[in-house]
Amino acid sequence: MKLTTAKIAEMFNAYCEKPTGYYVAQKCSISQNTAKKYIKKENWPKKLKDITDRAIKKVGESAEQRVTRHIQLGKDMQGVGVKGLKSTKPKAATEAGKLIVDGVRIEREAAGDDLGKGDANIQINVLYVKGD
């Protein structure tokens, strides 16, 4: 049975969602053999990679690169905050504490940590004691 261009396009779209023959077959109501045949015949792995590469080039970074950058940003904020805690000025120490909390939150969110499911909330209290 020869498939229509529209059906092949539907199959490729399914492949882009989840690149497996099983998924394409289920989503498009075709046999796995037919799905696998077109995946190989049309070289969909390469086609999908080319599309993804062009999209990344256009956007400038992949989602993985963006997450890595966000994690590093969170860590950098924590570092600045820790240095600020050594300050003898209460305002600077309070702001440093906020930087640490925000930095940890950003790092955890970027890494995919779920902050709302039983994890302890991060809280930093800065106590300023003025010497005699």
pLDDT at 39 over 70: yes
pLDDT at 35 over 80: yes
pLDDT at 72 over 80: yes
pLDDT at 121 over 70: no
pTM of the complete model = 0.47
Could you tell me if 87 and 96 are in contact, meaning their C-beta atoms sit under 8 angstroms apart?
A: yes
DSSP state of 69: H
pLDDT given at position 82: 76
pLDDT given at position 75: 84
> Among the ranges 8-17, 80-89, 98-107, which has the highest mean pLDDT value?
8-17
Could you tell me if 5 and 22 are in contact, meaning their C-beta atoms sit under 8 angstroms apart?
A: no
Average pLDDT, the chain: 78
Dist. CA 9–CA 67, nearest whole Å: 31
Could you tell me if 11 and 1 are in contact, meaning their C-beta atoms sit under 8 angstroms apart?
A: no
